[in-house]
Amino acid sequence: MDIEKKYPCVADLEASALRRLPKFVRDYLTGGLGNGISVQKNRTALNAVELMPRYFSDAIKPDLHCRLLGGDYDAPFGVAPVGLSGLIWPKAEMILAAAAKAHHIPYVLSTAAMARLEDIRQIAGENAWFQLYTPREKAIRKDLLHRCKQAGYNVLVVTVDIPYRTRREQDIRNGISVPPRFDLATLCQMIGHPSWALRMLLAGVPKFVNLAPYYDREKSGGHSAEIKQSIKFITERFGLHIGREIFEEIRADWPGKLLVKGVLNAEDAQNYLNHGADGLIISNHGGRQLDAAPSPVDVLPCIREAVGVDVPLLVDGGVRSGLDVARMLALGADFVMMGRPFLFAVAALDHRGGDHVMTILKAELQSTMGQLGCATAKDLPQVLVKNR
């Protein structure tokens, strides 16, 4: 199969992925919460960003290389953390970590992953970053950070936009959990999607392997008991506002670079920077936390103006193409993160998906920059049409 011809863009990968995934997985991956307004808003806002071509230019071949947090990368984008990636497609974390290393871009592993943080660091090397969903208990936080240090991670991403348990109606209706509940409806969906089911069977039942050491497993009860224990642990022992005291504790325990993910206003941005953050990821969690939250597109320029030009600003939210990456960079970001496009690619193409989608995004971004007359990503703010 000529995958370049069949899947020339992320939209083609998405369409194929959604056909291959059971409904409960598809809903989790694509959905937001409430009426899905925030998810739609991210795309609408990006579509409205206009860039002005400059043809009287000496730019011949755009250079995608960039420097961020003391590291050099082959492109100004990376793989955002997505919880339950291994449920969306078996071994997705390993596939994307390996592709990120090959393409020399960052791969951010979620705390709620189905792969051990130690294993992902071995696969992705220096390209592996770790995202912390902050446990309420200090001892667990400290141990997770200790494991990251021991494994060799250099960049920690602290997600701050999960202060309280979120109600996502689709996930409640579907009863999604890790390990998954195998009720009649779930089993019927699995049977109807044999590619996903077979790979899941071969990979084994997905588990929160990075969190399993911290909750007490019942000695009997098997699969059902483990589901109850993992759900109880997540719902009762995670979720808190990361204010000054807790953030300073995390900063004191982490010797490497520290990014704060989930910031949407300038005051929060400045507060985290004042207390030790090395940079920020402007994000509304893919539209999955608050349906009335603004899009990153709408707040990014204001935050850039507030924090100045020297603070590393990353951004995510609705990005689906190299053109969208260029739009975010033009608005003031130094780097762009994406989650769903990479999972679409893996679900569509399995082990070939990560490499293919990264190749697509690089080609699209280079083409866009060439059309705009931009030699490097730093030139993109100059072509922003400032009519917003």
Residues identified as active-site: 285
φ and ψ at 107, to 5 degrees?
Answer: -120, 120
Residue 112 is classified by DSSP as T
Q: Which residues of 104-127 are buried (b: 16+ CB within 10 A; e: fewer)?
A: bbbbbbbbbbbbbbebbbebbeeb
Q: Which tokens hold the place of 160?
A: 């701050």
Q: Which residues of 28-62 are buried (b: 16+ CB within 10 A; e: fewer)?
A: bbbbbbeebebbebbbebbeebebeeeeeeeeeeb
Indicate the pairing of strand 335-338 with strand 107-110: unpaired
Distance CA 296, CA 318 (A): 9
Distance CA 69, CA 89 (A): 30
Distance CA 338, CA 94 (A): 17
Strand, helix or coil for residue 47: helix
Distance CA 363, CA 276 (A): 36
